[in-house]
Amino acid sequence: MSLRTACAVGLGRLTSWGLRRVLHRNASQLPGRVALGVDPHALEELAGKVRQGSIVVCGTNGKTTTNNVLASAVEATGAGILCNRAGANMAAGVTAAMLSGSAADWAVMEADELSTVHILPALQPRYLVLLNLFRDQLDRAGEIDHVQDTIVQSLASSPETTLLACGDDPLSMGVARRAAQRGTKVMTFGIGEDLHLPPDRVPEARFCQVCGAELAYDYRTYAQLGAFRCPNGDFERPALDFVATGVTADRTGVSFTAGGPGFGGNSATLHAGFGGVYMVYNLLAAYAAASLAGVDGLTFQRVLDGYHPENGRLQHFVVDQREVVLNLAKNPTGFNQNISLLMADDRPKAAYFVINDDFNDGKDISWIWDVDFERLVAPRAADRVIAGGHRANDLQVRLKYAGIQADIADNVEEALRIAGDLDAACPLYVLTNYSALWPAKAELERMGERHD
């Protein structure tokens, strides 16, 4: 390690110590910024202390849960790991997670899609897990083709990395096709059966990544994911290496059998008490990557048995005897999946949607017009709808066009008061985008108790 890198690492660790021990603050980003400010190649140097290799998880939705389940599974084998569990997924956050003084067997890191261009060349990971791609934060990320270009470029800078991609997602497979042409090894995962679900409205990814023809589907699971094929024969879902069958998914959780040639003929039946259909993909991807790192099915299931969602992802609270479900929803697909989960709950219920427009949310919130709020007018979908956040009035207008008269609340406590005339057995679903998630979580932790 050069003197410059040693100084960078030392200052980064000192910053982390000061934040945690003196100021009692989160140290998931700033120590990495300090280290990279002193030595821009600090992350590349730190990667050398990882003995077995790195696994990087990226994708529009589901990164944090997938990454944390994967990290816990690898750790359950007795391996030492480094992981950015708090979800700080840009280069500074990954660097901060790598600043630990001890060496490790594996680094398991969540990465923002656009930040892969910095993270992959430095870590040279053994595997990159690509969960899905959806339009998200257009004023920062741009259109999907820009995100795809970035990931392909990142893989070209890490030639030994194997791409583990969602074979059901045409956009992810567009990346895989281009990366494979440049020599990247590709493995795929997906759901191997028709779940007979009502298809979502798909505002994007309807067209072949090769010739532009509209894709046909044997079945769809959600959004653009499913058994797709180009009518001209240019592009189709590949034969899957890791396959989920026997899938059940509802508000109580998910279960499925994970099989396929990637598992070497050793299938495992997995179940978890959280999530919807999208969680099947997340957990299948986590188990596929974990198996490549030497984790067996029994160990992975033990991890799921003890895993409780953190960071506001599908966390459950009880406030004055009322169940409150908190989750992140930051783009049309995320919102639509949360609405599906809400509608699978046949109890009377209230929904509180919170939309901010801070930097990490994106100032452009025009995406709310692509959310299928119209489904909430169905009987028993939501007995009370409440809007909140900096853009509460914009959201209220969008809901009005969907035929929904929404109240406005400034915080969760006020939303609970508005929902107070409903029976105490009626849950409140709180769906927020990025900057609103942590305040809502802190408020719920202050008012109530967590319920796993």
DSSP 171-226: HHHHHHHHHHHTT-EEEEEEE-S---PPPPP-SS--B-TTT-PBPEEEEEEETTEE
Residue 276 confidence (pLDDT): 86
b vs e for 37-51, b when ≥16 Cβ sit within 10 Å of the residue's Cβ? ebbeebbbbbbeebe
Residue 428 confidence (pLDDT): 95
Residue 41 confidence (pLDDT): 96
Could you give the strand order of the β-sheet that contains 428-432, starting from the edge strand earlier in sequence? Answer: 407-408, 384-388, 350-354, 428-432, 322-328, 315-319, 449-450
Residue 412 confidence (pLDDT): 95
Q: Which of 44, 62, 161, 52 is nearest to 98 (CA)?
A: 44
Residue 138 confidence (pLDDT): 61
CB 83 within 8 A of CB 5: no
**Per-residue pLDDT tens digits for 296-322:** 999 999 999 999 877 767 888 999 889
Residue 140 confidence (pLDDT): 63
Please give the DSSP secondary-structure letter assigned to residue 126.
S
Segments in the chain below pLDDT 70: 137-142, 202-204, 312, 380, 449-452
Residue 202 confidence (pLDDT): 65
Residue 141 confidence (pLDDT): 60
Backbone angles phi, psi at 108, to 5 degrees: -120, 110
* pTM check: above 0.75: yes
Q: What is the secondary structure of 13-54 as a DSSP string?
A: HHHHHIIIIIS----SSHHHHHHHHH-TTHHHHHGGGEEEEE
